[in-house]
Chains A and B, each alone.
Chain A
Amino acid sequence: MLKRMTISLALVTATVVTAGCMATPKNLDLSLAKKSAGGVYYVELLPPAQTPAINQMHSWTVKLATAEGAPVRGAKFLVDGGMPQHGHGLPTQPRVTREIEAGSYALDGMKFSMTGWWEMKLSIDGPQGADIVTFNTVVNNPSGR
């Protein structure tokens, strides 16, 4: 059974850099490919090819494999996330809308309403069982000009 994770459950141990008020924590794990918390799955997040603008709705791809690397078909996902530094969730409720190919899923309805550190959490329910995985991503302004 899938259980929706709340922001308060997220364990964040990274230290915050004090220079600049909302600087991103120093030791933030920005890896977009990792084992799920219980080690059941290997999950990879693929961002869109072109960096989306702030507040532009866009899609990611989720690649789900067993811990040994075999693609996992027919999994169900719940998506959650937000900004731990600001105490709010995602502005939208993204969903995995379809399986594009074996073990590769479309994550639609993503939107970041501001720059900074965002968490993206996936609750996975697949043939191998339920597990969760949390990714971090940092959204920046495009450089000036």
Chain B
Amino acid sequence: MKKRVIWAFAAVAAFTVSVFAAQELSAPLRDKWTAQEVATLASMRLKVAGVRPADFSNAYEQKPEAATLGRALFNDTRLSKNGQVSCASCHSAAGQFEDGRQFGQGVGTGKRRTMPVMGAAHSPFLFWDGRKDSAWSQALGPLEDPAEHGGNRVAFVKLVLSHYKSQYQAAFGPVPAIGQLPENASPNGSDAERAAWAALSATTRDGVNRVFANMGKAIAAYERNIVYGESRFDEYADATVRGDARGQESLTLQEVRGLRTFLNKGQCVTCHNGPLLTDHAFHNTGVPPVDPKNPDRGRIDGLKQLLKDEFNCLGPYSDAKPEQCGELQFLNTNDAGLLGAFRTPSLRNVAARAPYMHAGQFASLDQVLQHYAASPKAAIGHSELARPGEKHAERQTIRLSAADIQDLAAFLHAVTGPVVQPK
């Protein structure tokens, strides 16, 4: 009889060892996780992101001279229609390299929430709708956007060649033969600017585009060094993987409850996965449009812009070989789910950058979490979230209590770390 009890105990102990295999039993951990959860926590540590992947379309991204020029351009308000807007106007180095506003405020008011610079080098697509496929190409968009810098490429190129010529040459070599340029011209500008652009020779247009593209490549070289630093969550995850009981004290018990909800019933980790807490993909989660009569179509329109963009990976100003442009070569253009879909944002430092969603629809994390708890029907396209009460073969409804929401919000504050940037 006694023997039986011992055997049963041994069996339970063996089971426990197998479940918590990744954790050392010698120092009992405050918080127990299954082996699968430990693997997930391990995959979410910032250090797993490793070295930023090389952008083959930008041969200058690791050149210090390019980064130096890029930093100057990033902060130069002369690169705007009214002389008052620089990249830094909306991407403030004093904070999270964003502006804290619902809509970006440049020469005019934009239609979407400004995204932070950190993490950009890891993402295959930029902007909420992924209409750009590199950091350098992304940087060019706002310069000619009438609501942002409101300028035109010929004016920008003239400014760079008169104020930054030596820095430009140090980074990119000789300036292409451009010849005489009008004051303003661009294929994207006003009628007059477009007419002036059409009047230029093909060689001049190409030279202007080359210098303009290099402005983006310089800015991307600077931005590449602006990254997220480790948060308390990273200390916790690393400690849990190591089996370090004291290290688990990096998170409070409430934050740990929030983390459990994040991984399990909240289903947050489904899309907010990996070291940057994003899958870098596009999803429709039924976030209410700002203007229900004219809802933002998101990725479906971003795709069209990406494909016709002369500054994409396959374009003439890219330094990549065609086979290095895998994201464009295998671009998903046929998924009906891309209507009303937006890029999953990183959750790193998320508590420090309200408001949330692609048009700053939600003022607080609490409102964001309430949205997922409610999982409303999408106003455009179809939400991927199973609706409450919906009978669906595979998908499960997100069910969050008021306490779950508080715990999740607490956890989300623990993924905040420093912004690491060049001195």
Contact = CB atoms under 8 A, between A and B. Distances in A.
Interface of A: 4, 6-7, 12, 16, 20-22, 25, 54-55, 57, 82, 84-95, 108-109, 111, 113-116, 140-145
Contact of B333 (A12, A93, A113): A93
Given A20-B264, A89-B332, A92-B330, 12 more contacts: A21-B267, A54-B43, A55-B124, A88-B283, A88-B335, A91-B281, A92-B331, A93-B332, A109-B326, A113-B273, A114-B279, A141-B40
A86 B43 contact: no
A93 B330 contact: yes
Residue from A16, A85, A88, A95 whose CB has the most chain B CB atoms within 10 Å: A88
Contacts of A89: 332, 335, 337
Contact of B39 (A95, A111, A143): A143
Given A144-B22, A144-B38, A115 B332 contact: no
Contacts of A114: 270-271, 273, 279, 281
Contact of B394 (A54, A84, A108, A111): A84
Given A22-B270, A84-B393, A88-B335, A113 B38 contact: no
Interface of B: 22, 35-36, 38-43, 124, 241, 264-267, 270-271, 273-274, 279-281, 283, 326-327, 329-337, 382, 384, 386, 393-396
Contacts of A21: 264-267, 396
Contact of A93 (B36, B264, B334, B386): B334
A25 B394 contact: yes
Contact of B332 (A55, A92, A116, A140): A92
B281 A113 contact: yes
Interface of B is mostly: loop
B281 A94 contact: no
Contact of A55 (B274, B333, B334, B335): B274
B330 A145 contact: no
* Nearest 3 CB-CB pairings of A with B: A109-B330, A144-B42, A113-B279
Contacts of A115: 40, 273
A86 B384 contact: yes
Nearest to B266: A21
A86 B330 contact: no
B35 A144 contact: yes
A144 B40 CA distance: 7
Given A141-B42, A144-B42, A145-B42, A87 B267 contact: no
B326 A57 contact: yes
Given A16-B396, A57-B326, A93-B334, A87 B384 contact: yes
B411 to A, nearest CB: 16
A90 B281 CA distance: 9
B384 A144 contact: no
